Homo-oligomer: A and B are copies of this chain.
Amino acid sequence: MAKDRGVNWRFLLEWQTPTSAVLHVIKRVIYSGRTKYQEVDILDTYDFGLCLVLDGKIQSSSADEQVYHVALVHPAMLTHPKPSRVLIIGGGEGATLREVLKHNTVEKAVMVDLDDEVVQLCKKYLPEFHMNSFDDPRTEIIIEDGRRYVERLPDNSIDVAIIDVTDPLEGGPSYLLYTIEFYQLLAKKLGDGGVFVTQATSTYYSRNCFAAIYKTVASVFPVARTYHVFVPSYASEWGFVLGSKAADPLSLTSEEIERRMKERGVDNLKFYSPSIHHGIFALPSCLAQAFEAAKPVTDSSPVFMSA
C-alpha cells in the first residue's frame, strides 16, 4: 500500500461507524494481548508512531497525544485559581498525569485507573508518553474503579478532577462515568472553586453523545462549557466538557492565562496557548442545534457513543 507494497500487510481498521473506518498500516506490533478488562495493542504505525489501542480504538499516539492531553488538562487547570489536589480517572498512559504535574501548584495528583495491566504496559512500552510522571513524588496511582474511588473520597477534597476514560460504549467499563449521578458525586468531592473536565467523544461521529454529556454536566455544575480540538489520530474533532463550581473559563483573559502559566511554570505546550483559548470554546451553529435537542443522562438511562 505504501510505495513499497511488499512491506505492508498488517493493518488496523478503526471503525468510526459500521460503514466507515480509518485504515492504518502497521509497521510493528509491539504488544498484543488481553487484560482482565480489554484487548490491548501497542502498535508502531507509519503515520502516527506508537499507538495505544484499547478494544480496537486508538487511545493516543506519539504523533498527537500531546494535542489531546494538553487540551484535556490545561483549560481546566488554568480555570482553577490554584489547583493543588488533582484527581485523574483513567489516563493509563501517564500523559494526563504528565501535563497535570507541569503546574507547580499541584501538591498531590491521584490517578485512578481500573486496569493495572494497561498501566504496566504503558510504563514499559510508552516512556515518551508518561515521561516518568509515575515516579513523581506528588503522584499516587490507585488501581480501582474510578467511581467507587470517588464514593470513598471526603467531601471538598479535590480542586480539579479530570476524566480521561474510554468512550461510553454499551457493555464497556466507562459509561457510568458519564451520568448525572456520577457528576453529582464528583461535585460534592470538589472544593468550592472546583473544576472538572471530561473527554466527551467525537463532535461529529457521536455528536448526540457529546451534546448529552454537555447537558448532563450543565444540569449539575453552575458553569458548563464545551470545547473541541482536532485530534488527527482520531480522524475527528474531539469534544470536551468542563464543569465548574465557580470560575468560568470564558471569563479568563488571555493575559490572565499567560500570567498563570508563567507563575506555575507551564510553558512550551504543544497546541495550546493563551491566544487559542477562546477559539476552542467557540461553538459552530450545527453543534449548537444538537445541544438544544439533548437531555441529561442518568445511570438508568445512560448515553452510548453511536458507533
Q: Binary interface profile of A, 269-307, with partner B (CB < 8 Å = 1, else 0)?
A: 111110110111111111010000000000000000000
**Interface-central residue, A10, A25, A271, A286, by most chain B CB under 10 Å:** A10
With CB as the reference atom, state the residue of chain B lying closest to A7: B56
- The minimal Cβ–Cβ distance linking A20 to chain B, given in whole angstroms, is 4
Identify the 5 closest CB pairs spanning chains A and B, nearest first: A279-B282, A9-B56, A279-B279, A19-B46, A29-B32
The interface residues of chain B lying within 8 Å CB-to-CB of A191 are none
Determine if A264 is an interface residue (Cβ-Cβ < 8 Å). Answer: no
Q: How many Å lie between the Cα of A11 and that of B23 in the bound state? A: 10
Question: Of B45, B205, B237, B281, which contacts A237 at CB under 8 A?
Answer: B237
User: Given the known A-B contacts A47-B16, A56-B7, are A23 and B21 also in contact in the complex, defined by CB atoms under 8 Å?
Assistant: yes
The answer to whether A47 and B19 have CB atoms under 8 Å apart is yes
Contacts A3-B3, A273-B284, A279-B282 given; does A45 touch B19 at CB 8 Å: yes
Q: Min CB distance, A189 to chain B, in Å?
A: 32
Pair B22/A13 contact, Cβ less than 8 Å: no
Taken residue by residue from 1 to 39, chain A's Cβ proximity to chain B (1 for < 8 Å, 0 otherwise) reads as 111011111111111111111111100110010000000
